Amino acid sequence: MTEHVLVLNAGSSSLKFCVYGRLRHGPWRAEARGQVEGIGTAPRFKARAADGKVLAEQTLDASVRDARAALDALAAWLRTAYAGARVLGVGHRVVHGGSRHAGPAVVTPALLEELRGLTPLAPLHQPHNLAAIDALTERMPGVPQVACFDTSFHRGQPVVAELVPLPREIRSAGVQRYGFHGLSYEYIASVLPQVAPEIAGGRVIVAHLGSGASLCALRAGRSVDSSFGFTALDGLCMGTRPGAIDPGVVLYLFQTLGMTAGQVEALLYKKSGLLGISGLSNDMRDLLKSTDAAAKLAVDFFVYRAAKEIGALTAVLGGLDALVFTAGIGENSPEVRARISTASAWLGIDLDTGANRAGGPCISRPGSKVSAWVIPTNEELMIARHTSSLLGLD
């Protein structure tokens, strides 16, 4: 009999899901994936099989306005598509796990209360992640749930990498560098021994480049530093987030421009980055196609910041053996990969333009001092593995 694990990634306007199945004690394989999108505006349900075949695509009633209603729509489809199947557990992507959690955790009322306290540190993600857990608890109370944190993989970094240089009483209130995109980095680290064994034990920088973008420095598969810090606003330029900016800019927004806390939050999370620079789009594909000068500037800045941060993390590692590109832009944009690799050529990256256009996996020439790679990430599979392991399904 086939066993199933459901993976959920809840956002403000979408509920993404993946159904994993296996024969008893076999490997987990994705059977279906999709999302409820346009929640609260024009909701639609989409589902595809692992081979890309469309399983369902329909417009939903406008009453689908929150995570609970979206979960109801998903549950209705699952009852039809997987009639008689048993869900053994549900794994959730939860952006922030704080400093205590170095791994996933089974959901309990006490854990939920702790995670709600971290909402100010991830205001765009945490409330929606937890709303999906609440909704599933109500509708499927007998199904165990697991919270998988984007911060966990970075726990265990050197003290200096986590330190925010403020007074101790401030730091003791939880102000430190946490790092994010950990599920993606953990997956890449887990497959390096198979995909690129020659670099798996070395000094590797992984570039998770998408609407959210960051870098992680790995030594022997473990995180030693990341471009993200206290929140997911730090580091690289992103789709709508600025990345690292002078804290004095935030003071100026409050003290001189008279902006409110809500206005500043909206500016930093939703109106900056590629969108703010270009005034056109937060989508790299749109910007690369555009002939507008502001669009070109946005792309130039994205590349500049990535190359600059790669240099900084190389210093942290004491040298570099490989650069790995992943996520939406990293996996799908040969132009951005080429520009970042060219800007980082001083490190010893000798890009193979043909291999780069083809998508790799290795996109550097033989003999390149620092190799470059394209490795697709799979955060959902990482969550399925954690859920299975923590619930004793392995």
Output the six-digit token pair for 235: 């580091």
Residue 1: the pLDDT is 60
What are 204-240's pLDDT values in tens digits? Answer: 999 999 999 999 999 999 999 999 999 999 999 999 9
Boundaries of every domain in the chain: 2-156, 197-379
Output the six-digit token pair for 253: 């927004």
Catalytic-residue membership of 66: no
Q: Of 159, 148, 65, which Cα lies nearest the Cα of 380?
A: 148
Cα-based distances in Å from 276 to 112, 227, 272, 303: 35, 20, 4, 16
Confidence band for 30, pLDDT divided at 50, 70 and 90? very high
Between CA 117 and CA 369 the distance in angstroms is 46
The fold adopted by the segment(s) 2-156 is: Nucleotidyltransferase; domain 5 (3.30.420)
What are 61-112's pLDDT values in tens digits? Answer: 888 888 888 888 898 898 888 887 788 999 999 999 999 999 999 999 999 9
Output the six-digit token pair for 165: 């240089």
> By three-state DSSP, how is residue 6 classified?
strand
Output the six-digit token pair for 218: 């790995």
Output the six-digit token pair for 157: 């970094």
Q: Do 206 and 215 contact (CB within 8 A), yes or no? A: yes
Q: Which residues contact 161 (CB under 8 A, 6 or more apart)?
A: 177, 224, 225, 226, 316
Q: Do 215 and 313 contact (CB within 8 A), yes or no? A: yes
Same fold? 2-156, 197-379: yes
What is the number of other CB atoms lying within 10 angstroms of the CB of residue 320?
24
Q: Do 292 and 280 contact (CB within 8 A), yes or no? A: yes
Between CA 389 and CA 391 the distance in angstroms is 6
Q: Which residues contact 25 (CB under 8 A, 6 or more apart)?
A: 394
Between CA 78 and CA 86 the distance in angstroms is 10
Average pLDDT, the chain: 94
Residue 316 burial by Cβ neighbours in a 10 Å radius (0-12, 13-18, 19+): middle
Q: Which residues contact 327 (CB under 8 A, 6 or more apart)?
A: 181, 184, 208, 209, 210, 213, 377
**% residues pLDDT > 90 (the chain):** 81
Q: Helices marked H in the chain — which ranges?
A: 67-81, 109-116, 126-139, 159-162, 168-171, 182-195, 197-200, 247-255, 261-270, 273-278, 284-289, 293-317, 327-332, 334-343, 353-358, 379-390
> By three-state DSSP, how is residue 81 classified?
helix
What are 266-323's pLDDT values in tens digits? Answer: 999 999 999 999 999 999 999 999 999 999 999 999 999 999 999 999 999 999 999 9
Q: Which residues contact 218 (CB under 8 A, 6 or more apart)?
A: 185, 189, 203, 204, 205, 206, 224
Looking only at the bridges linking them, the beta strands covering 322-326 and 371-374 are parallel
Q: Which of 61, 66, 134, 150 is catalytic?
A: 150
Q: Which overall architecture, per CATH, does domain 197-379 show?
A: 2-Layer Sandwich (3.30)
Helix 379-390 and helix 182-195: axis angle, to 10°?
A: 90
Lowest mean pLDDT among 49-63, 191-205, 239-253: 49-63
What are 35-45's pLDDT values in tens digits? Answer: 998 888 888 99
